[in-house]
């Protein structure tokens, strides 16, 4: 690689999320719709010039530099580096790398930023080094890093079942709608999110509801995590209510994280109402 390779890695929101049953293996079956969002992290990948080259059996040394929004956990355990190691375990010839990751997507937000970084790392390396992996093979590979990782190999609206890893493409477009994300300084762990859910069959079909106009989604398209998480973190419920008060046609929490999003017909003029939180507004 003669010069750094730079790629933007997007995120997603969950348009509704139903927890339908607890599985014998301890996981939960769910139903949700993933929708891509143009809020991006940025990856810069290049060969690591400081890695040892004189000894053929010298250990492969990758370097990951992080900047932007802070991340929890050890750098060596970041999903980006785990994705690189996973490719090598599958026999891919990838030299030592130096990777810069700029985090614009907040972590622990239910937006899939880490999963996107990992999937886009794999996709980028496959392209850069002409590795013999098809999209399906890459999806199966990154699924070992997280159930939602395969979505980011080829982001498009998808209906997800199982533990969130069985995908069906759907015809759904929010083109022209304005999206507002609000992420307060509230952390909701996956363990906490699932500890409060009560699996049940949804009253309304998620797929059928998605065919209705967005203005009819409220009350029919729900996120089952909200009931218990809102009771523990009432600020999230307040943000959702405020988005509706500001004119959102539909508002919800995304995934099991703490981002609340609203869909608006015109650009929302209410960012100052959430000045103490992370916000992002775009037209889809």
Q: Which residues are catalytic?
A: 12, 148
Distance of CA 261 to CAs 98, 111, 224, 280, Å?
A: 35, 10, 15, 9
C-alpha Rg value of the chain to the nearest Å: 20
d(CA 50, CA 73): 25
d(CA 1, CA 99): 13
Q: Apex CA 190: angle with CA 62 and CA 38, to 5°? A: 65
Q: Apex CA 119: angle with CA 113 and CA 120, to 5°? A: 85
Q: How many residues does the chain have?
A: 284
d(CA 252, CA 239): 10
Beta partners for 103?
Answer: 68
Distance of CA 57 to CAs 1, 54, 207, Å?
A: 21, 9, 53
Sheet with 250-253: list strands edge to edge.
250-253, 260-264, 178-183, 278-283
Q: Which two tokens stand for residue 265?
A: 């017909």
Q: Please answer whether residues 279 and 239 qualify as being in contact, where contact means their C-beta atoms are separated by less than 8 angstroms.
A: no
């Amino acid at each position: 690689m003669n010069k750094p390779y730079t790629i933007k890695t997007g995120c997603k929101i969950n348009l509704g999320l139903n927890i339908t049953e607890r599985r014998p293996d301890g996981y939960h079956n769910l139903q949700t719709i993933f929708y891509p969002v143009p809020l991006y992290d940025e990856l810069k990948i290049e060969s690591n010039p400081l890695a040892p080259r004189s000894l053929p059996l010298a250990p492969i040394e990758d370097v990951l530099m992080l900047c932007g929004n802070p991340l929890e956990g050890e750098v060596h355990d970041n999903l980006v580096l785990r994705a690189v190691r996973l490719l090598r375990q599958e026999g891919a010839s990838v030299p030592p790398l130096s990777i810069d990751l700029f985090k614009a997507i907040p972590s622990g937000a239910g937006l899939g930023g880490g999963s996107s970084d990992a999937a886009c790392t794999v996709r980028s390396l496959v392209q850069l080094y002409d590795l013999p992996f098809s999209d399906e093979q890459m999806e199966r590979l990154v699924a070992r890093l997280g159930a939602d990782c395969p979505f980011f190999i080829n982001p498009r609206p998808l209906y997800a079942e199982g533990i969130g890893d069985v995908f069906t493409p759907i015809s759904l477009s929010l083109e022209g709608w304005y999206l507002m994300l609000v992420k307060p300084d509230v952390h909701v762990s996956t363990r906490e999110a699932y500890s409060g859910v009560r699996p049940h069959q949804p009253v309304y079909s998620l797929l059928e509801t998605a065919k209705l106009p967005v203005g009819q989604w409220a009350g029919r398209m729900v996120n089952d995590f909200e009931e218990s998480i809102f009771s523990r973190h009432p600020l999230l419920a307040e943000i959702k209510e405020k988005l509706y008060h500001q004119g959102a046609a539909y508002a919800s929490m995304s995934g099991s994280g703490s981002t609340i999003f609203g869909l608006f017909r015109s650009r929302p003029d209410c960012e100052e109402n959430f000045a103490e939180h992370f916000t992002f507004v775009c037209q889809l």
